Structure 1
Amino acid sequence: MDFEDYLKEMAEFETERLKLRKLTYVDLDDVYEFCSNPKVAHPMTWEVNTSREITNDFLKVVITGYEDGESGEWAIEWKETGKVIGVAAFIEWSNNHKCIEIGYFLSENFWGRGIVTEALQELIRYGFNELNSNRIEGRCDTDNIGSQKVMRKLGMEYEGTLRKNEFIKGEFRDTQVYSILSS
């Protein structure tokens, strides 16, 4: 089965504190709350969401993409309140090379609590055990210390820095690459 077929089914996961599930339009206010925060948007390729309409457009792309196996985004739901506090994702994947790139963004109110590590552990397990991936990688800006720590906690190894490889928000930025192998 191809990766896209697995995404059409979109497995859900539950951890001690989190539920990982499909995003829905009901999540609009929660997602807008953290996507409108400049600190959350700064290291990302997307701009600060200045209106709910922008966030709704993002949700529309993701939700319609679920049907075609083109969306790999999971809502990170805080089980205690049912509130969506972030998004974890398979950003890119290759059926031929058995490689997945993971990513995430999280509400500033939940930074530093191990939430992303908890969520991504589930996705990494899924990527290796169910999708038979050989390699899972993550990338972040060189100044994104939090993401570097998350990737190291996940057991990923630093592979190197791509110099000025992305043009984000009017400037070329360096990107660090981390990975973990099935072996």
Structure 2
Amino acid sequence: MKRKWNCGNIVYSYCTEADLSDIASMLAKQNVCEYLFFGPNKEEDTLAYFSPLINSISESLKANNIPDMHVFTIREKDSGVFIGQCALLPIEFTNGNYLIGYQIDDTQWRKGYGSAACEFLTYFAFSVLSAFRITGDCAEGNIGSEKTMIKAGFKPEGQQKRYWSKNGKWHDRLLFGLTTEDISEEKLEILRSKYD
């Protein structure tokens, strides 16, 4: 089973223990977590969440199986500089439907990495996992994430009122979706040609 995918000077790889320090550092930042339903996190909280995921991914890859969870680290290919992370998580009871997620470290904002991550997840879901649908969400007010998903072809699907409570304040959840009917085979071929 393949573990890394390159696109220009970006490399997406399944998360490993070696990535945890960078992930924990990113998710300890208030501005990175502003629109997330969790965080900022203490390092031990991030490790407690990610370690079982990483162990499960590692065991699957060792057995040459496709992991159940797809959590990727994003780095610059040439320098190895940490950019962020992205993930496809299966949605229960709907085999072939995945929830996307991406967090970009604040040192890497406004460089197009969020859009690149969303594009990679679209490629991976439809070309590697044979998904029939990918689902995205964000807190109302997260204009950057909303624009990123729409640019990638996601369609707005609704709004759930008072979905998340954080720091004593309620936040609405905006829903987005992208199905196999929404993306052409020509677009998928272009995406497949970008990732080696």
Give the gaps of 5 or more residues in structure 1.
Answer: 1-8
The within-5 A match list for 1:141-156 is 141-156=139-154
Q: Percent identity?
A: 24
Structure 2 counterpart of 1:59, which letter? F
TM-score by length of 2: 0.79
* Alignment partners' CA distance in 2, 1:82 and 1:143: 32
1:149-164 aligned at under 5 Å gives the runs 149-164=147-162
Number of equivalent positions: 174
C-alpha change, 1:171 and 1:61, in structure 2 (3 Å) is farther
What are the superposed Cα offsets for residues 135-160 of structure 1, whole Å, 9 maximum, x if unpaired?
Answer: 11110001101101110111111111
Q: Counterpart in 1 of 2:52? A: 61
The residue correspondences of 1:100-119 to structure 2 (distance < 5 A) are 100-119=98-117
How far the C-alpha of 1:109 sits from its partner, in A, is 1.3
Q: State the SS of the aligned residue for 1:80.
A: coil
Contact 2:118 2:148 in 1 (8 A): no
**More displaced, 145-154 or 65-74?**
65-74
Shift of 1:53: 3.0
Q: Which runs of structure 2 are paired with 1:19-34 in the superposition (5 Å)?
A: 19-34=11-26
- The aligned amino acid for 1:47 is G
Contact 1:92–1:102 under 8 Å retained in 2: no
Deviations 1:4-31 (A, max 9, x none): xxxxx46431111211112222223322
Q: TM-score, normalised by structure 1?
A: 0.84
Distance in 2 (alpha carbons) for counterparts of 1:15 and 1:95:
32
Deviation at 1:65, TM superposition (A): 2.5
The CA distance in 2 between the partners of 1:177 and 1:88, in whole Å, is: 18
Structure 2 residue runs without a partner (length 5+): 61-66, 182-196
Q: Which residue of 2 aligns with 1:126?
A: 124
Instruction: Give 3-state SS (helix, strand or coil) of 2:87's partner.
Output: strand
